[in-house]
Amino acid sequence: MKVIIVGGVAGGATAAARIRRLDEQAEIVVFERSGYISYANCGLPYYIGDVIADPDELTLQTPESFLKRFRVIMKVHHEVTAINPDRKTVLVKNLETGDEFEENYDKLILSPGAKPTQPRLPGVGIDKVFTLRTVEDTFRIKEYINKHHPKSAVLAGGGFIGLELAENLRELGMEVTIVQRPRQLMNPFDADMASFLHNEMRKHGVKLALGHTVEGFEEKNGKVAVLLKEEESLHADMVILAIGVTPDTVLAKKAGLELGMKGSIVVNDRMETSVPDIYAAGDAAQVRHYVTGEEALISLAGPANKQGRIIADNICGKDSRYLGSQGSSVIKVFDMTAATTGLNETNARKAGLDVDTVVLSPMNHAGYYPGGQVMTMKVVYEKETCRLLGAQIVGYEGVDKRIDVLATAIHAGLRADSLKDLDLAYAPPYSSAKDPVNMAGFMIDNILRGTVKQWHLEEVADLPHDGSVTLLDVRTKGEYEEGHIDGFRNIPVDELRERLDEIEKDKIVYVICQSGLRSYLASRILEGNGYEAYNFSGGFRFYDAVVNDRCLIKKATACGMDQ
């Protein structure tokens, strides 16, 4: 059996190694148009920022090491230019010599990945405008920085690459501005949770121009002018496009394979394309979202590796199925860690699901153990079925641990209230006896049982201020005086029982505290004394962060720059 693989990196290299482990006699040839067959794509920004000092650390395998260990022929600087499914051959061009030749296959694996989205804008070809996707891209950017010592950079795009680049360029001492059309960074997060990321970026001197559209680039006086729609231009020494990626499927299209969203390759759960004996994996393949079952494009290394393994199993006579991508991811944002899995609230509602959320601010470990830090968690679930749909966490230590527990719970099909039953490891330096994941489950269980009723951030603007309801802040007097929502009166929770006569019983009471815990206790006191009370989800800390961020974005939209 002869297997040809188009593209290395995650999906292709994984498939090659797995096929060899399953079939010692198979002939395996990988064609990779770049000079690197297996590299740490996610580590590229950290090489630019000198966190990874040795460029050799970026390459996980070389053609020589792969051949020695797996007897796989890795041909770099070789581009497959055409597929002939009828003859089961591919046309290959040696990019170093220009020679072309035809190679036959029994099985063909397409792992071409994705290419940086290149908007058709004036000035994209300017030598001070870069994209970052490959090792070669990384070296070009690093060489430019080392040679020209730029003082400023504009990053077009606020996704994973944009944020990681922003951090690394700031660590090099550069002024950094992120400009992007959506009014938030990191679309896998809801806008309210992204507020904490925005604050962290501002804290470290990154300027944000959110809600702005780039219309082109011009070179002026040795700098690049970033032209914005109906706004003044931004000026910098260099620009890096991190707008996103597009499936690289020109080959598949020319070969007549069925294509899906954004031109991606349609595959079944065995990763088979519409043409017999041709498989596809990675960023170029359309998959199903594990939670919704709908078609999705999810460009992450973990899914690509799994898909490569599944293809290898099926080629070698086994029966492996890809269950779908959940979108679990984590990112370092300066001192913070942010992670997400499954659906956020925004996308769940777009999918037509009737959802609710809980927002909590637990410590990463026991409060009495030194060094504890607050994290913000948002858990999304379906109201009627209590199906766990997704979660987002922003914080410091312990974020990655909790998101992985929640990702596992979603994959296992646990109900959201079942989070309270998970038996999780505890010691004071690592967690609390009631882990944050358990706490989310307790909160959801209380809501389902009617023990507590919630009100949310989106309802603040609609609250009546005519005296028809009671607006109650149960924090301490000092906390209240440092900042509160207009119209809310202050009765600290520890004084509430003695001051119930100050609250009219025939009015609904909307309660808030700093994190949601004291207002929950206050709600139970009120309910136990015949009142109808609603507890604010997330607390004043959450409200303050989101509202202040929205004000800054609104101001930036008006003046052209986030200060």
Active-site positions read 42
The answer to whether the beta carbons of residues 516 and 538 sit under 8 Å apart is: yes
- The DSSP-derived string for 461-503 is GG---SSSSEEEE-S-HHHHHH---TT-EE--GGGTGGGGGGS
Q: Which residues, 6 or more positions from 546, have their beta carbon under 8 angstroms from its beta carbon?
A: 191, 192, 195, 457
Helix (H) or strand (E) holding 531: none
Task: Provide the token pair at 393.
Answer: 């966490």
* Residue whose pair of structure tokens reads 């591919």 in the numeric block: 90
Cα distances (Å, whole numbers) of residue 151 to 72, 154, 310, 429, 563: 45, 11, 46, 41, 18
The answer to whether the beta carbons of residues 29 and 66 sit under 8 Å apart is: no
At 235, the amino acid letter reads: H
Angle at 213 between CA 210 and CA 219, to 5 degrees: 110
Query: Can you say how many angstroms the Cα of residue 185 is from the centroid of all Cα atoms in its chain?
Result: 10
- Cα of first residue to Cα of last residue in the chain, in angstroms, is 61
Query: Can you say how many angstroms the Cα of residue 341 is from the centroid of all Cα atoms in its chain?
Result: 8
* Cα 198 to Cα 200: distance, rounded to the nearest angstrom: 5
At 562, the amino acid letter reads: D
Q: Which residues, 6 or more positions from 489, have their beta carbon under 8 angstroms from its beta carbon?
A: 470, 471, 472, 473
* Cα 347 to Cα 362: distance, rounded to the nearest angstrom: 25
- The DSSP-derived string for 4-37 is EEE--HHHHHHHHHHHHHH-TT-EEEEEESSS-S
The answer to whether the beta carbons of residues 322 and 305 sit under 8 Å apart is: no
> Strand ranges (DSSP E) for 124-277?
129-131, 152-156, 175-180, 207-210, 214-220, 223-228, 234-236, 238-241, 245-247, 265-266
Closest CA to 558 of 47, 209, 234: 209
The answer to whether the beta carbons of residues 67 and 54 sit under 8 Å apart is: no
Pairing of strands 285-288, 265-266: parallel
Pairing of strands 278-280, 107-110: parallel
Pairing of strands 376-382, 355-360: antiparallel
* Residue whose pair of structure tokens reads 């009723």 in the numeric block: 453
DSSP 8-state code for residue 289: B
**Residue 167 burial by Cβ neighbours in a 10 Å radius (0-12, 13-18, 19+):** buried
